[in-house]
Structure 1
C-alpha cells in the first residue's frame, strides 16, 4: 500500500471539514454586508440582534470545525510518523548491519518534516486553495471590476510562489543532502571518541566538522533568506492589494455602482481568498522538503522486512556451505575486492568448527555470511537445508547466537542485554540465569554491584573488556540457539575466562548445538571437531584437528628450501 493510499481517508475527511469551514467563513462577509446595507439604513435593532445570534452560531461552528480538522490532521501526522519512524530505524539498522548504505533511504528528518507539514498550516493551505476560485466568483457577482482585481492579485501571488520555488528548490535539496552527510560524520566522531581523545585529534576532527557544518548553515541561511524575502514581499503585496480593492470599492460606492457593505465585504473576502497562497509561501520550505522526500518516504512506507510465507520448523543445526564467493562493495566506482572464493564445508549438529588464519584472510567475513548479514555473490549458506536468506530475522534470531569481533552492548542492565530486550516486563528470569550459567558467567554477574540489575552504562562502559565479552556470550546463548557463531570470543579473556569458555563450548556440543569459532588462540583447538585454515579468502586446509596437524607437518617437509614456496593441500573432512 502506497503512502497516499494510507493517508487518503484522513485527507478526505479533512477536505470535507474544509468545505464546512470555508462555507462558514463567508458568514462574516454576509454579516458585514447586511449590517451596512440593511441595519444602518433601517436602524433596526431586532435585525441586528438576529444577525448577531446568527453570527455567534456560525462562529462557534467554524471554531469547532477548524479544531476537529486540525486534530484530524495532527492525528494523521502522529500515526504516520510513528509507523515511518519505526520503519526508518529498522531499515537503517538493516543497512548498517549489512554494510550496504543507501543514500536514497528516508531518515527521521524526512519523517519529522512530513509530520510538521501535516500538523501545521501547510496541508490546510493546500486543501483551502481550490476555494480561491469560489471567492473570486463571489466577487464577480458583486462587480466585475472587483473580480478582475482579485484575479490579478491571485496571479501575482501565484507567480511569487513559483519564483520562490525556483529560488529555493535546489538550495533545499543541497543543504538537506549535506546535512545528512554532516550528521553521519558527527556520529562517526562520537563512535571513535576514545581514539580521538587519546591521539589528540579533537581540534582536527572538530574543526573539519565545524567547517562542513558552517557550509551547511550557509546553504540553509540562503534558502531561509530567500523564503523570508518572498514572504515579506507577499505580505506587502497583499496589503497593497487590499488598499487597491478598498479604493476600487470606494470608487464604485461614490459612483453608485455598489454599496458600502459591498466595499467592505469584498475586501474581507479577498483577504480570505488570498490567505491560502500566503500560508503556502510561509510554509514553502516544509512543502519543498516533503515534496523532495516524498519518494523516499513512500518507498519506506511500502518497505517491509523480509518475511517467509512458510513458517520453517525449529532447526536441528545442520550447517552446509556451498561454493561461497563474496566481494566487497564497490567504492567510488572502483571494483570491489574478492574477499572469499569457493568456501564449502558441512557441519552436523553438535560439531565445533574452529577457523584460524592470518589477519585479512576472510574469517570474520565468512562468519557474517554464515549469520546471514551479508549476501554472497554466489554460493549458498544452508541451515537444515534451507537457504539462510529464507529465514525471517526475528525468527532466525531465536535459534542463532552471535558474538562479533567488536562487542557492542546496550545501555541498561545486564539482564536486559542477556535477554536481548531492554523492557524489564519481557524478561524471563529463568532463561536469563540459564544463559549466564551456560556461558559460565553466572558467578561473575552475581559479583557485580546489583547482580543482574547492574546498569552497565553506554556500550557497557562500566565493565571491563573481558566482562563485556562474557555477557555478549551469555546473550548469544539466550533462548534456544542451534547455531552459535563466535568471532574472537577469547580475545579479552584471561586463563580462567578461557577455561570457562571451553567448558561452555563443550556443553554446547553435548546439547547438539553447532558452533563456529574464529580465533587466533590455540586453547579452543583442543576441543574442535573440525579446523579450517584460511588464507587470502580461500580454504587452505579443512579437516579434523589431527588431519590439520598432519597437513602442517607435511607442509613443513614439502616446503621448497630454495624459494620458500609451500605446496598447498586440501584435506577433506572425514
Structure 2
C-alpha cells in the first residue's frame, strides 16, 4: 500500500524535498519504523486480556468462599486483590492507547509534508487524486486510535476465555463456542451486505464534494451566467444518491445488529440455564454459574467493541 496517488507524481523529482524522500513511501514501511512500540502494544494486549480473567475469578471466589463462610475478612482481602488487578488493567489500557495515539502522530509528521507536496502538484495539474491524500492520512491516523484496531488487537486473545469456560465444564464451552460461531457468521453477513452500499455512498459523497469544489472556484462565472439553479439541482441529485446508499447500508446493518443482540442475549441466558442445570444435577459450585456467564460476556466484549 502506497501513500502517493500515482507513481508518476510520487517519483517526480520536482516533488522531492530537502531530504530527497518525496518518492513512494509504503505505509507498512512507515508503521514498521516503530517496531518496538508495536511489540509493546502486543504485549500490553496480552496482559490486558489475561487480566480480564480477574473479574471471573473474583466472582467465583465471592460465591464459593464468602457466601458460604460469611467472612468479611475474606471479602475484604479478595476485594483488595481484585482492585489491584483492575487498576493494573486500566493502567495498561491507558498505556496502550497512548502508544497508539503517538504512533498516529509520528506517522502524520513522517508523511504529512510529503503528501501535502504531492497534493499540491496534483492540484496544479488539475488531477483529482491529490484532494483525498490528506483526508486519507487523517482516516489512517483515526484508525490507529480507534476502537476497530483495539478490537483487532484483542481478538487473538479471545480463546483465553473459551479455554477458561472449557475448564469450568465442556457443556458450557459448547454453548459459548456455538454462540461465538453465530456471532461470527452475523458479522460476516453484516460486512458482505453493507460493503457495496457503503462504498457507493463514499464515492457519491466524494463526487458531490468534488462537484462543489470545482464550481465554487468558478462561482463568479456561474452567477453571471445564471447557472446556479442548474448547479444546485445537479448537486442535489448527487447528494440524494449519497443519502440513499448510506440509508440502504444503515438499514441492512440495523437488521443484522438486531439479530446479533438477540443471539447475544439468548446465549447469555442459555449459559446461565446450563450452569444452573449443572449445579442441580452434578457436583458443581454456584460460582461456576456466574463465572461461566461472565467469561462468555468478556470474550465477546473484547472482540466486539462499541465504535
TM-score, scaled to structure 2: 0.84
Q: In structure 2, what is the equivalent of residue 230 of structure 1?
A: 256
Equivalent residue, structure 1, for 2:69: 42
Partner of 1:6: 30
CA distance in 2, matches of 1:226, 1:11: 35
Alignment of 1:376-387 (within 5 A): none
State yes or no: 1:118 paired with 2:139.
no
- Counting only pairs closer than 5 Å after superposition, residues 392-541 of structure 1 correspond to structure 2 as none
- 2:58 maps to which of 23, 31, 55: 31
Q: How far did 1:167 drift?
A: 0.8
The Cα shift of 1:277 comes to 3.6
Question: Which residue of the partner structure matches residue 70 of structure 1?
Answer: 97
The superposition leaves residues 114-170 of structure 1 with CA deviations (integer Å, 9 ceiling, x where unpaired) of: 222221211110011011111111100000000011111111111111111111222
Q: Which runs of 4+ in 1 moved over 6 A?
A: none
Q: Which residue does 2:21 correspond to in 1? A: none
Q: 1:54 to 1:120 in 2, by over 3 A?
A: same
- Whether contact under 8 Å (1:28, 1:55) holds in the other structure is yes
CA displacement 1:366-412 (0-9 Å, x = unmatched): xxxxxxxxxxxxxxxxxxxxxxxxxxxxxxxxxxxxxxxxxxxxxxx
Alignment correspondent of 1:108:
134
- Looking at structure 2, the residues matched to 90 and 173 of structure 1 have their Cα atoms a distance apart, in angstroms, of 28
| Contact 2:30-2:110 within 8 A present in 1 as well | no
Normalized per residue, the structure richer in helix is 2
Equivalent position of 1:276 in the other structure: 302
Contact 1:88/1:106 (<8 A) preserved: no
**Residue among 100, 109, 130 paired with 2:156:** 130
1:59 corresponds to? 86
**3-state SS of 1:258 partner:** coil
CA contact (8 A) 1:231 1:278 kept: no
Pick the structure with more strand per residue.
1
Give the alignment's TM-score, normalised by structure 1: 0.46
Whole-Å Cα distance in 2 between the matches of residues 237 and 114 of structure 1? Answer: 32
Alpha-carbon spacing, 1:110–1:100, altered in 2? closer, same or farther (3 Å)? closer
What is aligned with 2:242? 216
* Alpha-carbon offset, residue 55 of structure 1: 1.0
Question: Among residues 102, 113, 116, which one is paired with 1:89 in the alignment?
Answer: 116
Deviation, 1:196, is: 1.3
Match of 1:156 among 163, 179, 182: 182
What's the CA shift for 1:268? 0.6
2:214 alignment partner in structure 1 = 188
Post-superposition offset of 1:43: 2.1
Contact 1:235 1:278 in 2 (8 A): no
Decide whether the 8 Å contact of 1:234 with 1:278 is kept in 2. no
SS at structure 2 position matched to 1:200: coil
Shift of 1:262: 0.6
Task: Specify whether residues 276 and 234 from structure 1 end up closer, same or farther in structure 2 by C-alpha distance, changes over 3 A only.
Answer: farther
1:87/1:225 CA distance change after superposition, 3 Å: farther
Structure 2 equivalent of residue 302 of structure 1: none
Which residue of the partner structure matches residue 9 of structure 2?
none
SS at match of 1:93: helix
1:259-295: CA deviations, max 9, x gaps? 110110111110110113432xx55xxxxxxxxxxxx
Larger-gyration structure (1/2): 1
CA contact (8 A) 2:207 2:238 kept: no
Distance in 2 of aligned mates of 1:88 and 1:254: 66
Whole-angstrom distance in 1 between the partners of 2:190 and 2:161: 24
Task: Structure 1: state its 5+ residue gaps.
Answer: 284-574
Give the CA RMSD over aligned residues.
2.0
Structure 2: tracts of 5 or more residues without a match: 1-24
Partner of 1:176 in structure 2? 202
Aligned residues: 280
SS of residue matched to 2:304 = helix
How far 1:172 sits from its partner (Å)? 2.2
Report the equivalent of 2:11: none
**SS of corresponding position for 1:130:** helix
8 A Cα contact 2:205 2:238, kept in partner = no
Q: 1:91 to 1:226 in 2, by over 3 A?
A: farther
> Retained in 1: the 8 A contact 2:154–2:303?
no
CA separation of 1:7 and 1:150: change in aligned 2, threshold 3 A: same
| Pairwise CA distance, 1:72 | 1.4
Partner Cα separation in structure 2 for residue 168 and residue 85 of structure 1: 31
Question: Which string of whole-angstrom CA distances, capped at 9 and with x for unpartnered residues, describes residues 74-117 of structure 1?
Answer: 222233244454443322211222345548x8533323332222
